[in-house]
């Protein structure tokens, strides 16, 4: 079945790797160690990493036999909001558009191709980079993202567990965490990070200070957003030599007209406020996990843009 999965992935331009459940034990043990050693910020851990459930409680599958991780190349997307006098364009970095939907779509696609897996694939809720690296699918970069040759870091990882015997050898062992050799003496991403979360001394991110985290967190936005990114940040990826020329940018095919933009800017729940539901339909196309925060972040980007337009003496 592993070769069927490989063929399925190759036909779609995806990559796939499979392994035994030991990979989950190792990923979990390392995370627990990093938390106990104080290498991971305690509050950050509780708010952002405590949801990992690994193989057992995450699934209806009682007896997990194998782990499957798929890498799907993703572009960045551009979308527009019509303002009173201009059209305001923003970027959604790779993985934001339809993030959650992709997990289900890939699973449905796999089971359509390999019917034996129907009802036997459950979404894996675990640290996917760490699992994918131990499966040999990806390699870490200094910026703490993972890389695949010819794709750079511009892909989404989706993971599954199965109780089917897909052909993992009994003596299968997870591989080590690996860093791209070119990162050894390179600190370009570290210098480019607006909040200094990439430390030259360690690969582990100081994620509690990452611009992406602020952009996705509920509540008041007490930090700057990154350039024109509605969510997330591209700073550490765009400067990375291993990503050179690899970022694809596509229009998402959604423009919010003036009334819809005002609806979005007027409050957090654009769907509820938009009586005609046209903004809601467009938001559904984006399928953003962070949808409730669009208005807040858009207002911040527009304010920053207006400030930059003003003559210096007036600032
Ligand atoms: C929480 C989270 C965040 C948090 C925290 C990020 C973090 N690094 O922990 C925030 C909100 C900041 C975030 C930001 C982003 N995220 Co995010 N995020 C996640 C999530 C849900 C979990 C990540 C995680 O496990 N963190 C825990 C830490 C401890 O694990 P780790 O990052 O793998 O770090 C390992 C290494 O540091 C290793 N390690 C320690 N020392 C050493 C030394 C060496 C030599 C080596 C090799 C390794 C090593 O130990 C750690 C594992 O125990 C995953 C989805 C998922 N379910 O996995 C997506 C995910 C990691 N995010 C993703 C993306 C795309 C992003 C952003 C690029 C989005 C954006 N454009 O802004 C940024 C990138 C920020 C950055 N430079 O890493 C993708 C990454 C794809 C890829 N190519 O790798 C993922 C996998 C989502 C997905 N399904 O594809 N994210």
- Is residue 215 within 8 Å of 229, Cβ to Cβ? yes
Q: What is the predicted pLDDT for the residue at 60? A: 72
Q: For the chain, give the number of residues.
A: 315
Ligand 1 pocket residue status of 210, Cβ below 6 Å: yes
Range list of H helices, 14-98: 22-36, 42-48, 54-57
Q: What is the predicted pLDDT for the residue at 59? A: 61
Q: What is the predicted pLDDT for the residue at 253? A: 92
Report the atom number in ligand 1 closest to the C-alpha of 145: 84
* DSSP secondary structure letter of residue 254: E
What CA–CA distance (Å, rounded) separates 95 from 102? 9
Q: What is the predicted pLDDT for the residue at 38? A: 95
Arithmetic mean of pLDDT over the chain? 92
Q: What is the predicted pLDDT for the residue at 155? A: 98
**How far, rounded to the nearest angstrom, does the alpha carbon of residue 239 sit from its chain's CA centroid?**
18
Ligand 1 pocket residue status of 238, Cβ below 6 Å: no
Ligand 1 pocket residue status of 92, Cβ below 6 Å: no
Ligand 1 pocket residue status of 213, Cβ below 6 Å: yes
Residues of the chain below pLDDT 50? 268, 315
What CA–CA distance (Å, rounded) separates 264 from 208? 28
Ligand 1 pocket residue status of 137, Cβ below 6 Å: no
User: Which tokens in the block code for residue 54?
Assistant: 């690994």
Question: For a substitution probing ligand 1, which of 55, 145, 193 has the most ligand atoms within 8 Å of its CB?
Answer: 145
User: Which tokens in the block code for residue 283?
Assistant: 């938001």
Q: What is the predicted pLDDT for the residue at 245? A: 98
Q: What is the predicted pLDDT for the residue at 280? A: 86
- Is residue 147 within 8 Å of 180, Cβ to Cβ? yes
8: nearest Cα among 110, 89, 116, 86: 110
Q: What is the predicted pLDDT for the residue at 297? A: 96
Q: What is the pTM of this model?
A: 0.96
**What residues does each domain of the chain span?**
2-314
Ligand 1 pocket residue status of 30, Cβ below 6 Å: yes
Q: What is the predicted pLDDT for the residue at 172? A: 97
């Amino acid at each position: 079945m592993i070769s069927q999965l490989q063929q399925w992935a190759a036909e779609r331009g995806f990559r796939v790797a499979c392994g035994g459940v030991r990979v989950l034990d190792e990923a979990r043990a390392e995370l627990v160690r990093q938390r106990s050693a104080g290498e991971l910020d305690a509050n950050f851990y509780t708010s952002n990493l405590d949801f990992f459930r690994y193989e057992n409680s995450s699934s209806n599958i009682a007896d997990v036999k194998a782990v499957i991780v798929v890498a799907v190349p993703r572009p960045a997307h551009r979308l527009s909001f019509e303002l009173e006098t201009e059209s305001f364009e923003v970027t959604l970095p790779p993985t934001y558009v339809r993030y959650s939907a992709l997990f289900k779509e890939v699973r449905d696609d796999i089971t359509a191709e390999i019917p034996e897996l129907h009802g036997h694939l459950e979404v894996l809720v675990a640290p996917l980079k760490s699992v994918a690296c131990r499966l040999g699918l990806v390699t870490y970069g200094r910026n703490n993202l993972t890389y695949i040759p010819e794709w750079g870091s511009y892909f989404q990882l989706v993971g599954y567990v199965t109780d089917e015997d897909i052909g993992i050898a009994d003596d299968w062992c997870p591989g080590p965490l690996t860093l791209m050799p070119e990162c050894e003496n390179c600190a370009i991403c570290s210098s480019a990070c607006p909040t200094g979360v990439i430390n030259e001394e360690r690969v582990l991110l100081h994620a509690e200070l990452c611009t992406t985290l602020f952009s996705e967190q509920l509540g008041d936005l007490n930090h700057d957003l990154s350039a024109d990114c509605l969510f997330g940040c591209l700073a550490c990826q765009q400067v990375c030599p291993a990503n050179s020329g690899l970022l694809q940018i596509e229009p998402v095919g959604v423009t919010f007209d003036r009334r819809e933009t005002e609806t979005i800017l007027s409050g957090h729940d654009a769907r509820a406020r938009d009586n005609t539901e046209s903004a809601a339909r467009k938001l559904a196309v984006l399928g953003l996990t962070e949808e409730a925060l669009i208005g807040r972040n858009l207002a911040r980007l527009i304010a920053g843009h207006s400030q930059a337009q003003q003559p210096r003496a007036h600032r």
